[in-house]
């Protein structure tokens, strides 16, 4: 049993507030991905869970034990470091075996585990080499193998595939996922790559400026962003946002289009409200109407299966994904109707969804 | 881009100077040790050196002193360097204080310790004053070879540990802290972090420090002269003795070659033991 509880954890480096009161529970054997832009505090949070950094406030629990005061080696964790930290004075074999040797595991088991994990990470041919003779991507795979070989209760990974080329990364992603699904490991996986996050996670926790703004499964995060940041960060291209003006009790005017939205009273505290829609949740219609946006096409990007059109609506950037059968040209005017069940609304002062 | 030969050209003057001021006298000394007045090759000077009753003692004393002093210096410096490296503040102040003995000449260091161990020295005054002993002891008398040895070792450790410390602190500063963290996460105790990670990664600095210290230990002279006088013969003392007291430059040269020989041998041994496999450097 290795449930991880992060309770009101905050971290300050001098005046820099790296983490602001993080609360997160990772269930036993869950695969949680921490997703966020670079500098938002992912590594800091992971290092606090590992015990390499002390929180300024808050508690960390692993299993039924509060571990704040325990050194890293008593926390039952293994970790993949963002900068690999593959020991330069040891061969790849000895690097992978390091944790097992510290745990006084017998030689036969060590050899078995090392060759198993090395094979998994496609580095079995490198076992006799030193880290100085490896490329960045190979070093990174050694770091992952070293952690996997421990078969730990808790596995912490900090951007473990960031330095691999696209094809290998996709393969490793699948292998890691299947290995960890078979094991009883609870995993926190840090990445800034949303495709990686979506494809691997049981649950994604999205971080922004030292806070977790939403923690949910991939589809929910994509469909129902709890925070404006999530909508603007997730999805390629991300959501479109347009300011909304109140019209009657539960109808709003968005760029001249009348749309039914949240009740005014519910949104009373909201000084202003923003309407949001994903680019693929817009349906082109043939002519102007009261319930369709008028979009001036600025840039066309044919992407094979579909075409991404960057347009202007009311002088705001507005992206539309249309079928590649539709012939579009720069300067065209496009009329698009939002899919009503896919419309989202945000309070622009709190940035929370309404 | 400058031409590839430029560094070599720029180093040439220093090389020339080295040849004139070091290599040439060295060849002269070496020749002096193995030739007679007529310019013929001879082993007579070496035989005379080996046959002299003080050679064996001087040789053993020099080796024993090195064996006693250098390991303690390395261990102490390692310990202090770990402490200094772990400090977040005030490390510079500590380093400055610890390196003060480096600014004192070895003769001065010998005299300082002499003033402690002498019959009328600080230690005796202290002991008698506090009533630990009835009357002053002659710590450094000829019948107390052990104490003399101990006093010399202490003085050397006090005087020259700082240079090892400086080298090791610089070396430890080059080791990124992520390796220690990785070791910690993967279950290494503090001692294991030190022996399995810090020490192997410190090999290049350790090598430099050990070679430097061993060579200097074979050349120890002034401290021994001050504390031991004629009671503790050592190789360098014999070079001096033969050159300036017995006025036999040939035997003095033979002694000098012996010091050179063991220095080279020890350097090679240290380099071999602390070698780093290809690709295994930081
Ligand atoms: N040791 C440190 N000292 C001072 N500031 C730090 C330190 N470590 C991280 N920070 C700051 O904390 C913030 C979060 O950093 P980090 O956790 O590394 O972000 P991420 O891993 O998400 O890119 C950054 O603004 C960074 O500059
Ligand atoms: Mg990071």
Are A23 and A12 in contact by the 8 Å Cβ rule? The answer is: no
Separation between Cα atoms, residue A39 and residue A26, nearest integer Å: 22
Separation between Cα atoms, residue A125 and residue A157, nearest integer Å: 24
Q: Rounded to whole angstroms, what are the CA distances from B68 to A240, B73, B151, B228?
A: 77, 9, 12, 16
Are B282 and B175 in contact by the 8 Å Cβ rule? The answer is: yes
Question: The CATH number of the domain where A143 resides is what?
Answer: 3.40.50.300
pLDDT > 70 in chain B, percent: 100
SS (H, E, C) B188-253: CCHHHHHHHHHHHHCHHHHHHHHHHHHHHHHCCCHHHHHHHHHHCCCHHHHHHHHHHHCCCHHHHH
Are A176 and A144 in contact by the 8 Å Cβ rule? The answer is: yes
Separation between Cα atoms, residue B41 and residue B57, nearest integer Å: 28
Same domain assignment for residues A186 and A256? no
In which domain, by residue range, is A318 found?
240-347
Residues of B in contact with A131 (CB under 8 A): 279-280
Residue B30 predicted with pLDDT over 60: yes
Same domain assignment for residues A280 and A340? yes
Cis peptide before A237 (omega within 30 of 0): yes
Q: Rounded to whole angstroms, what are the CA distances from B103 to B99, B100, B162?
A: 7, 6, 10
Torsion on CA atoms B181, B185, B187, B190, rounded to nearest 10: 30
Model confidence over B173-211: pLDDT tens digits?
999 999 999 999 999 999 999 999 999 999 999 999 999
Q: Is residue A306 part of a domain?
A: yes
Q: What is the DSSP string of A218-263?
A: HHHHHHS-SBHHHHHHSSSS--EEEEEEEEETTEEEETTEEEE-S-
Identify the H or E element spanning A312: strand A306-313
CATH topology of domain B40-273: MetI-like fold (1.10.3720)
Residues touching ligand 1 (Cβ under 6 Å) are: A 13, 16, 18, 36, 38-44
pLDDT given for residue B270 in this prediction: 96
User: Mean per-residue pLDDT for B102-125?
Assistant: 87
User: Mean per-residue pLDDT for B126-131?
Assistant: 85
Same domain assignment for residues A121 and A190? yes
Contacts of A16 (CB under 8 A, 6+ apart): none
- d(CA B282, nearest CA chain A) in Å: 6
- d(CA A167, nearest CA chain B) in Å: 28
Residues with CB under 5 A from ligand 2 (ion): A 43, 82
Last residue of a domain, one of A212, A230, A248: A230
Residue window 165-184, chain B: list those with CB within 8 Å of chain A. 176, 178-179, 181-184
- Cα-to-chain-centroid distance, residue A111: 35
Same domain assignment for residues A210 and A70? yes
Which atom, in ligand 1's list, is nearest to the CA of A41? Answer: 17
Q: Is residue A235 part of a domain?
A: no
Which of A87, A155, A157 to substitute to test the interface with B, most B CBs within 10 Å? A87
Same domain assignment for residues A98 and A219? yes
How many other CB atoms sit within 10 Å of the CB of residue A267?
A: 19
The dihedral sign for the CA sequence B112, B113, B118, B123? positive
Q: Is residue A288 part of a domain?
A: yes
Same domain assignment for residues A197 and A299? no
- Cα-to-chain-centroid distance, residue A207: 8
Separation between Cα atoms, residue A56 and residue B143, nearest integer Å: 64
Contacts of A214 (CB under 8 A, 6+ apart): A205, A206, A221, A225, A226, A227, A230
Return the higher-pLDDT residue of A249 and B228: B228
Are A190 and A42 in contact by the 8 Å Cβ rule? The answer is: yes
DSSP A81: B
User: Mean per-residue pLDDT for B264-272?
Assistant: 96
Ligand 1, atom 7, residue with closest C-alpha: A13
pLDDT given for residue A267 in this prediction: 61
- Cα-to-chain-centroid distance, residue B195: 24
Same domain assignment for residues A32 and A124? yes
pLDDT > 90 in chain B, percent: 64
Q: Is residue A67 part of a domain?
A: yes
Tell me, in angstroms, the distance from the centre of ligand 2 to residue A17's CA.
15
Last residue of a domain, one of A230, A259, A286: A230
**How much is the mean pLDDT over chain A?**
92
Number of domains in chain A: 2
Question: The CATH number of the domain where A310 resides is what?
Answer: 2.40.50.140
Phi, psi of A108 (to 5 degrees): -60, -45
The complex's ipTM works out to: 0.87
Separation between Cα atoms, residue A317 and residue A315, nearest integer Å: 7
pLDDT given for residue B118 in this prediction: 85
Encoded tokens for A187:
């995993």
Q: Is residue A62 part of a domain?
A: yes
Separation between Cα atoms, residue A154 and residue B42, nearest integer Å: 75
Beta bridge mates, A34: A190, A205
Give start and end residues of each alpha helix (H) in B87-202: 91-98, 106-117, 122-129, 145-173, 177-185, 190-192, 199-201
**Cβ-based interface (< 8 Å): residues of A facing B:** 50-52, 71-73, 77-79, 81, 83, 85, 87-90, 98-99, 102-103, 129-133, 146, 150
Are B46 and B33 in contact by the 8 Å Cβ rule? The answer is: yes
**Segments of chain A scoring below 70 in pLDDT:** 265-271
pLDDT given for residue A269 in this prediction: 57
Encoded tokens for B30:
């070496």
């Amino acid at each position: 049993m290795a449930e991880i509880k992060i309770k009101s954890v905050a971290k300050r480096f001098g005046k820099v507030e790296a983490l602001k009161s993080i609360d997160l529970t990772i269930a036993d054997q869950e695969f949680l991905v921490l997703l966020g832009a670079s500098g938002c505090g992912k590594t800091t949070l992971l290092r606090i869970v590992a015990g390499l950094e002390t929180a300024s406030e808050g508690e960390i629990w692993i299993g039924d034990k509060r571990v704040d005061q325990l050194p890293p080696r008593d926390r039952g964790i293994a970790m993949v470091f963002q900068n690999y930290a593959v020991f330069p004075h040891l061969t790849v074999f000895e690097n992978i075996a390091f944790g097992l040797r510290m745990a006084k595991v017998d030689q036969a088991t060590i050899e078995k585990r090392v060759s198993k994990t090395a094979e998994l990470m496609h580095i079995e041919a490198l076992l006799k080499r030193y880290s100085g003779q490896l490329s960045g991507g190979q070093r990174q795979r050694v770091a992952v193998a070293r952690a996997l070989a421990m078969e730990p209760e808790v596995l912490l990974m900090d951007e473990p595939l960031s330095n691999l080329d696209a094809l290998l990364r996709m393969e490793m992603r699948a292998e890691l996922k299947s290995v960890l699904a078979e094991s009883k490991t609870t995993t926190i996986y840090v990445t800034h790559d949303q495709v990686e996050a979506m494809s691997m996670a049981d649950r994604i926790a999205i971080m922004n400026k030292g806070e977790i703004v939403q923690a949910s499964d991939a589809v929910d995060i994509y469909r129902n962003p709890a925070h404006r940041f999530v909508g603007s960060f997730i999805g390629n291209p991300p959501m479109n946002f347009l300011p909304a003006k109140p019209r009657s009790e539960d109808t709003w005017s968005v760029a001249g289009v009348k749309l039914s939205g949240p009740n005014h009273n519910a949104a009373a505290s909201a000084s202003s409200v923003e309407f949001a829609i994903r680019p693929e949740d817009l349906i082109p219609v043939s002519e102007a109407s009261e319930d369709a946006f008028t979009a001036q096409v600025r840039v066309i990007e044919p992407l094979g299966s579909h075409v991404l059109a960057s347009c202007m609506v009311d002088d705001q950037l507005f992206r539309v994904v249309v079928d590649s059968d539709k012939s579009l040209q720069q300067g065209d005017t496009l009329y698009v109707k939002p899919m009503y069940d896919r419309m989202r609304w945000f309070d622009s002062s709190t940035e929370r969804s309404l | 881009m400058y031409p590839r030969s430029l560094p070599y050209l720029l180093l040439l003057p220093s090389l020339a100077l080295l040849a004139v001021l070091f290599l040439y006298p060295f060849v002269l000394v070496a020749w002096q040790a193995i030739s007679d007045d007529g310019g013929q090759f001879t082993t007579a000077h070496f035989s005379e050196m080996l046959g002299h009753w003080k050679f064996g003692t001087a040789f053993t004393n020099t080796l024993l002193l090195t064996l006693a002093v250098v390991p303690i210096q390395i261990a102490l410096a390692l310990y202090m360097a770990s402490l200094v490296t772990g400090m977040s503040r005030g490390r510079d102040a500590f380093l400055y204080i610890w390196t003060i003995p480096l600014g004192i000449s070895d003769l001065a260091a010998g005299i300082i310790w002499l003033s402690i161990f002498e019959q009328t020295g600080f230690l005796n005054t202290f002991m008698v004053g506090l009533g630990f002993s009835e009357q002053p002891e002659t710590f450094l008398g000829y019948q107390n070879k052990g104490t003399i040895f101990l006093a010399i070792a202490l003085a050397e450790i006090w005087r020259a540990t700082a240079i090892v410390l400086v080298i090791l602190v610089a070396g430890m500063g080059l080791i990124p802290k992520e390796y220690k963290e990785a070791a910690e996460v993967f279950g290494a105790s503090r001692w294991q972090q030190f022996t399995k990670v810090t020490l192997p990664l410190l090999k290049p600095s350790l090598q430099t420090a050990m070679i430097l210290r061993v060579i200097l230990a074979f050349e120890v002279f002034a401290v021994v002269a001050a504390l031991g006088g004629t009671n503790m013969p050592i190789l360098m003392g014999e070079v001096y003795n033969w050159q300036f007291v017995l006025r036999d430059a040939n035997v003095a040269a033979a002694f000098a070659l012996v010091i050179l020989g063991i220095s080279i041998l020890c350097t090679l041994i240290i380099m071999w033991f602390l070698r780093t496999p290809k690709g295994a450097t930081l």
